[in-house]
Structure 1
Amino acid sequence: MASKGKDPALYTLTAGSIAGAIEAAITYPTEFVKTQLQLQDGSKSAMTRKGVPAPRGPIDILITTVRTQGVGAIYTGLSAMIIGNTAKAGVRFFAFDQFKDLLKDSEGKTTGVRSVLAGLGAGMTEAVLVVTPSETIKTKLIHDGNSANPQYRGLVHGVKSIVKAEGLGGIYRGVVPVMARQGANSAVRFGVYSSLNDFLKSRMAPDSKMPATYTFGIGAVAGIVTVYTTMPLDVVKTKMQGLNARQLYSGVFDCFWKVFKNEGVLSFWNGATPRLARLSMSGGIVFSIYESVMTVLRQLDDSGPIRS
């Protein structure tokens, strides 16, 4: 995200959307496994749709799912994820750039706390506009796939069924924890990324280009830090977006309390391993592709950035 002038909104939206779509397609199996782990009720007697004990770890889930439902099952909900991630990443980078521009200091820089605040604003924006509905649909599709008699026949049918049964509010289930998670996610990720990016650039020759391996590396580090600081919010978000959430939880705090009371404090980090795998890759993939697309767009614009 480094150019001498302010990039037009179309550039950040395009680069962010492309990066989000590619990242979702590559990392989705880890998202599927993470969601499965978080949807488990924590009881030792939990059973799968096939009547066998529910798998208890990431590898066990992958093997059991492929063996009982086929390879395609680990991509259940992928279409919702790609659509959501494409829009989410576009909105995220666009919103971050707008907030960053508003929060620049007297020297025109956005560092430290200002970068964190810009990231927080970007996360809250993407949560309301994109993430909540796409995450709710993805989670319900995966949860439905575990039932003895799945009722959704794909993305379109699933959305129609959810809206018919619960109204538009049905696809905005868990909006509060999603906003909290996305705000924290973006604040931590952009804050860490911007700090490391500025640190490395300060030690490079003026006007030199950041190597792709550096961009991938600091993006991965940002993803790792994000996982462990925001995991409880992610668990509660998933629980509240399950098929039977309305019957189980009266609200966010009720969900927090019941998970803590029934499953223990460590359950707030259920799915941390696959989420770590995804976000460490995701951070590197998204930031690398974003920077690469932005470079191409700037090069194609021979007369300088087109102001939008």
Structure 2
Amino acid sequence: MSIAGGTAGAVEAFTTYPAEFVKTRSQFGGKKTPPLTIVRETLAKHGVTGLYSGCGALVIGNAAKAGVRFLSYDWFKSKLVDREGKLSAPRSLLAGLGAGMVEAIFAVTPSETIKTKLIDDSHRPNPQYRGLVHGTVSIVRQEGISGIYRGLFPVMMRQGANSAVRFTTYNTLKQLVQGAAGARPGQQLPSTITFGIGAVAGLVTVYTTMPLDVIKTRMQSLEARQNYKNSFHCAYRIFTEEGILRFWTGTTPRLTRLVLSGGIVFTVYEQIIKLIA
């Protein structure tokens, strides 16, 4: 399970990273910049590689995250299924919430913090980090281990909500499709159907968890310690100073990424499980 999940996570992260880069850049404070403007400016200054700034951190983190997510979700799921092996929507929500919390602690927060700081640093006049390894060492040297665990609370909230919504939507739609097609529980669906269901799950996830993602990005930026006391103070400042719509900044690039992500991750995961089996 962890091998399949890790491979799926790494493939998804690399494939969709430019959208993640644009989303993160658009969520920093200051002037609101349209996604296409961010792409044009980055390409003009840094070329195509500029859109992959911080990619290494996310690919490694995503592989670990997906491995932990699927492994922990399957563990929670095994404890919550009924006698017929079925998982109800509320129990799937609970299993996804548990998986999200576990992945936030062990994989997501460090990789997301490093990725966010590298992206924030990359568009400054004089960047201080020279890649993933140098950036990570510098952050730990300057701020200690707590430096790469910046924003743990909003990450746990976001990942818990992400996994709960995504797995519940995916499993509910999958069971509906299997029922409509007359397939038995556990039977493999065609890859195109799996991709479509995963994409819809990604779509639902984006709109329900976007505010948590914005707070997470702000708390992991280079100026977070100067600007915000904690996640609640960050949310309060965004709401009072920038308006409620700012919580949905970066929706378009995140939507692009998570719709593709949902399709890619679940398709790759189920195909690898099939091969292993």
1:96 is displaced (CA, Å) by: 0.4
TM superposition score normalised by structure 1:
0.87
- Aligned counterpart, 1:33: 22
Residues in 2 aligned to 1:90 and 1:41: alpha-carbon distance in whole angstroms? 36
1:229 maps to 2:218: no
* 2:99 counterpart of 1:122: yes
CA distance in 1, matches of 2:103, 2:183: 34
**Count, aligned residues:** 275
In the alignment, which residue of structure 2 is the partner of 1:21? Answer: 10
2:269 paired with 1:296: no
Distance, in Å, in 1 between the alignment partners of 2:178 and 2:138 is 50
Q: How far 1:202 moved relative to its partner? A: 1.2
How do 1:67-106 and structure 2 match up within 5 A? 67-106=44-83
**Which residue identity does 1:69 align to in structure 2?**
H
Alignment-derived partner of residue 50 in structure 1: none
Q: CA deviation at 1:112?
A: 1.0
- TM-score normalized with structure 2 length: 0.97
Contact in 2 for aligned 1:17/1:86 (Cα 8 Å): yes
The structure where helix makes up a greater share of residues is: 2
1:144-223 paired onto structure 2 within 5 Å = 144-207=121-184, 209-223=188-202
Counterpart for residue 251 of structure 1: 230
Alpha-carbon contact 1:42-1:263 (below 8 Å) kept: no
Aligned to 1:202, the other structure's residue is in SS state helix
2:263 corresponds, among 280, 284, 299, to: 284
- C-alpha distance in 2 between matches for 1:181 and 1:103: 22
**Among 249, 262, 266, the residue aligned to 2:241:** 262
Code of the aligned partner of 1:202: G
Deviations 1:97-127 (A, max 9, x none): 0000111123332121001110010000000
Pick the aligned partner of 2:35 from 55, 58, 68: 58
Q: CA deviation at 1:176?
A: 0.2
For residue 260 of structure 1, what is the amino acid of its counterpart? Answer: F
- Hey, what's the Cα distance between the residues in 2 that align with 1:264 and 1:222? 28
State the Cα deviation string for residues 214-241 of structure 1 (Å, max 9, x = none). 1000100000000000000000000000
Amino acid at match of 1:63: R
1:192-216: CA deviation from partner (whole Å, max 9, x where unpaired): 0000001111122445531111100
Question: Which amino acid is 1:275 matched to?
Answer: R
User: Does the aligned pair in 2 maintain the 1:240–1:249 contact within 8 Å?
Assistant: yes
Whether the aligned pair in 2 keeps the contact of 1:215 and 1:288 (CA below 8 Å) is yes
CA distance in 2, matches of 1:209, 1:68: 46
Q: Which amino acid is 2:17 matched to?
A: Y
Letter paired with 2:5: G
Contact 1:100–1:118 (CA<8 Å) still a contact in 2? yes
Amino acid across the alignment from 1:120: L
In 2, Cα distance between the equivalents of 1:236 and 1:191?
Answer: 24
AA in 1 matched with 2:30:
D
Secondary structure in structure 1 of the residue aligned to 2:27: helix
CA distance, structure 2, for counterparts of residue 284 and residue 111 of structure 1: 22
Letter of the structure 2 residue corresponding to residue 81 of structure 1: L
Q: 1:160, CA displacement in angstroms?
A: 0.7
Of all paired residues, the percent bearing the same amino acid is 57
Q: Which has the larger radius of gyration?
A: 1
**Mapped partners of 1:270, 1:159: distance in 2:** 27
Q: Give the aligned residue type for 1:229.
A: T
* Distance (whole Å) between structure 1 residues aligned to residue 29 and residue 225 of structure 2: 16
Counterpart code for 2:196: G
Q: CA RMSD in A?
A: 1.0
Cα deviations by residue, 1:8-64 (Å, 9 ceiling, x for unpaired) = xxxx10100010000001000000000000013247xxxxxxxxxxxx211111011
- What amino acid does structure 1 have at the position aligned with 2:246? S
